[in-house]
C-alpha cells in the first residue's frame, strides 16, 4: 500500500491531492483541493502567466496543508511527493515543483517529478483499474492535442500531434470570436447544443490525409470569417465549429487505430474530454472497432493534482523506481 501527495500548478489551476494505491490494486483519492484562477484571468480572455504564477504562490501551501488536514494525515504518512515539473507556464511550474522539493527535503521523502502529459495519460487508470496497457489515448487540452499509444509507465508512442493549435485552444479562440468569454470550451459546447451545424460550412483540415497529425488553425480562421460575415447566428457557428472539430478528431483517431497495432481500449483525457459530443463520437468509433471506450470523470479530465499523485504512484510501483534529484529542473517544454 502506498500514499502519494501530488501538486499541480502548470497552468491556471493550483491543486493538491493525496492518492492511495491499496492492497489488491484499489485506488482512492483520499483528499484533494483545487483552486481555479478563472476569475483572475477572465478580464484578459486567457491565462496571463505572471498573474497565474503569483496566484500559485499564494495558494499552493494552504492547499497542501488543507489536503493533509482533510485526510487527517501528516507528511510522515506519505510515501512520496509528486509535482508537475513541466510542460507548462514556467513561473507556475516552478512554484509547485519547488514546493514539492521543500516538502520532500523537510520530510526526507522521495521527490517524483511528473510530466503533466503523463499525468493526463495515466489518469484514466486511476478511475478505471481494469484499464490495461496498451491503449490508444486522445490527449486533448488547452495546450496539447495528441494521439498516443500508452504502452506502459514511461512508455508512450506518439502517433499524431497538432501542427498548429491545440483542440482546447481552438475551442477557446472560437469562444473569444463569438464573445462567449473565458474559459471557452464549456461555453462553446453549451451554445453548440442549440445551433444547427449544417447552417455554416466550415473546413475540416487534414481530413482523410495520409499525414497523421491534427490542424485547427484553418478552422479557427474560418470561424472568424463566418462571424465577420455577420449573417450567421452565433449558435450555428458554435455548432458548425464543434461538428468540424469532431469530424477531424474522429478521422485522425480512426487513422491512428489503423496503425497502432493491438490496443485494449480507446481512451480520452485532457480538458477537452469534458465535451459530451466529443465523448459520444469517440464512443461510437470504439464500438465500431469492437474496443472498450474509457473516459475518466470530468473532474479528472481537466487539470487536477490527483492525476499527478496517481502518475507518481504508478512510477513508485514500477520496477526499478528511482527518486528524482532535488535539482530536477522545471521544464516549459517537455515532450512525452
Ligand atoms: O487539461 P486542461 O484543464 O488544461 C490544459 O492542460 O490545457 O484543459 C483545458 C482546456 C481548455 O482549452 C478548455 O476550453 C477545454 O479544455 N475544455 C473544453 C471543455 N471543457 C474544457 N473544450 C471543449 N468542450 C468542453 N466542454
Ligand atoms: Zn492539462
pLDDT band at 291 (very low <50, low <70, confident <90, very high): very high
Residues 6 or more apart in contact with residue 194 via CB below 8 angstroms: 235, 239
Same domain, 151 and 92: no
Same domain, 114 and 190: no
pLDDT band at 106 (very low <50, low <70, confident <90, very high): very high
State the residue range of the domain holding 189: 134-295
- Residues 46-99: tens digit of each pLDDT: 888 999 999 999 999 999 999 999 999 999 999 999 999 999 999 999 999 999
pLDDT of amino acid 165:
97
**Backbone φ and ψ of 55, nearest 5°:** -65, -40
pLDDT band at 35 (very low <50, low <70, confident <90, very high): very high
**Backbone φ and ψ of 54, nearest 5°:** -65, -40
Q: Which ligand is the nearest neighbour of the Cα of 89?
A: 1
Whether residue 325 lies inside any domain: the answer is no
pLDDT band at 4 (very low <50, low <70, confident <90, very high): very high
Q: Mean of the per-residue pLDDT values for the chain?
A: 96
Same domain, 13 and 150: no
Output the DSSP codes for 173-218. HHHHHTT--SSHHHHHHHHHTTS-GGGS----TTTT-SS--B--HH
DSSP bridge partners of 4? 19, 80
CA of residue 110 to ligand 1 center, whole Å: 31
Q: Is 262 exposed, middle or buried (0-12, 13-18, 19+ CB in 10 A)?
A: exposed
Same domain, 183 and 168: yes
Same domain, 48 and 181: no
CA of residue 310 to ligand 2 center, whole Å: 14
Whether residue 208 lies inside any domain: the answer is yes
Q: Whose CA is nearest to atom 14 of ligand 1?
A: 185
Average pLDDT (269-276) is 95
Same domain, 161 and 269: yes
Confirm or reject: Cβ of 168 under 6 Å from ligand 1.
yes
Same domain, 164 and 285: yes
Whether residue 40 lies inside any domain: the answer is yes
Place of cell 478511475: 127
Confirm or reject: Cβ of 86 under 6 Å from ligand 1.
no
Whether residue 15 lies inside any domain: the answer is yes
Whether residue 272 lies inside any domain: the answer is yes
Please identify every residue whose CB atom is under 5 Å from ligand 2, which is an ion: 141, 303
CATH number of the domain to which 281 belongs: 3.30.420.40
Whether residue 328 lies inside any domain: the answer is no
Same domain, 103 and 144: no
- Beta strands 135-140 and 145-152, pairing class: antiparallel
pLDDT of amino acid 124:
97
Same domain, 143 and 283: yes
Whether residue 110 lies inside any domain: the answer is yes
Whether residue 332 lies inside any domain: the answer is no
pLDDT of amino acid 183:
80
Same domain, 169 and 200: yes
C-alpha cell at 30: 483520499
Residue of 89, 167, 168, 244 to mutate, ligand 1, most atoms within 8 A of C-beta: 168
Confirm or reject: Cβ of 172 under 6 Å from ligand 1.
yes
- Residues 292-326: tens digit of each pLDDT: 999 999 999 999 999 999 999 999 999 999 999 99
Same domain, 100 and 228: no
Same domain, 150 and 178: yes
pLDDT of amino acid 47:
87
CA distances from 296 to 97, 104, 269 (A): 25, 29, 7
Average pLDDT (16-20) is 98
pLDDT band at 209 (very low <50, low <70, confident <90, very high): very high
Q: Is 327 exposed, middle or buried (0-12, 13-18, 19+ CB in 10 A)?
A: exposed
Tally of domains within the chain: 2
- Residues 116-171: tens digit of each pLDDT: 999 999 999 999 999 999 999 999 999 999 999 999 999 999 999 999 999 999 99
pTM for this one? 0.94
Amino acid at each position: 500500500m502506498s500514499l502519494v501527495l501530488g501538486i499541480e500548478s502548470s497552468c491556471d489551476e493550483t491543486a493538491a491531492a493525496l492518492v492511495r494505491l491499496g492492497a489488491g490494486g484499489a485506488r482512492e483519492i483520499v483528499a484533494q483541493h483545487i483552486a481555479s484562477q478563472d476569475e483572475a484571468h477572465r478580464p484578459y480572455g486567457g491565462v496571463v502567466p505572471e498573474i497565474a504564477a503569483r496566484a500559485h504562490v499564494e495558494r499552493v501551501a494552504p492547499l497542501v496543508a488543507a489536503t493533509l488536514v482533510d485526510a487527517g494525515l501528516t507528511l510522515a504518512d506519505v510515501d512520496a511527493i509528486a509535482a508537475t515539473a513541466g510542460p507548462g507556464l514556467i513561473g507556475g511550474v516552478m512554484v509547485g515543483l519547488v514546493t514539492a522539493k521543500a516538502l520532500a527535503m523537510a520530510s526526507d521523502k522521495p521527490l517524483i517529478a511528473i510530466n503533466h502529459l503523463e499525468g493526463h495519460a495515466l489518469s484514466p487508470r486511476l478511475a478505471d483499474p481494469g484499464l490495461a496497457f496498451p491503449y490508444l489515448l486522445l490527449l486533448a487540452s488547452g495546450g496539447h492535442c495528441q494521439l498516443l499509444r500508452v504502452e506502459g509507465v514511461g512508455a508512450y508512442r506518439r502517433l499524431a500531434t497538432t501542427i498548429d493549435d491545440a483542440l482546447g485552444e481552438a475551442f477557446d479562440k472560437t469562444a473569444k470570436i463569438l464573445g462567449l468569454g473565458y474559459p471557452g470550451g464549456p461555453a462553446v459546447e453549451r451554445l453548440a447544443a442549440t445551433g444547427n451545424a449544417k447552417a455554416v460550412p466550415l473546413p475540416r483540415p487534414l481530413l482523410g490525409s495520409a499525414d497523421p497529425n491534427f490542424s485547427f488553425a484553418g478552422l479557427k480562421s474560418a470561424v472568424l470569417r463566418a462571424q465577420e460575415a455577420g449573417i450567421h447566428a452565433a449558435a450555428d457557428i458554435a455548432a458548425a465549429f464543434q461538428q468540424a472539430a469532431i469530424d477531424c478528431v474522429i478521422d485522425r483517431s480512426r487513422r491512428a487505430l489503423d496503425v497502432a497495432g493491438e490496443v485494449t481500449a480507446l481512451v480520452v483525457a485532457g480538458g477537452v474530454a469534458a465535451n459530451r459530443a466529443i465523448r459520444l463520437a469517440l464512443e461510437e468509433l470504439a464500438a465500431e472497432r469492437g474496443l472498450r471506450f474509457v473516459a475518466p470523470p470530468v473532474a479528472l479530465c481537466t487539470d487536477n493534482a490527483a492525476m499527478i499523485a496517481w502518475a507518481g504512484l504508478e512510477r513508485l510501483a514500477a520496477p526499478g523506481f528511482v527518486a528524482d534529484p532535488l535539482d530536477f529542473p522545471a521544464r516549459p517544454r517537455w515532450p512525452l
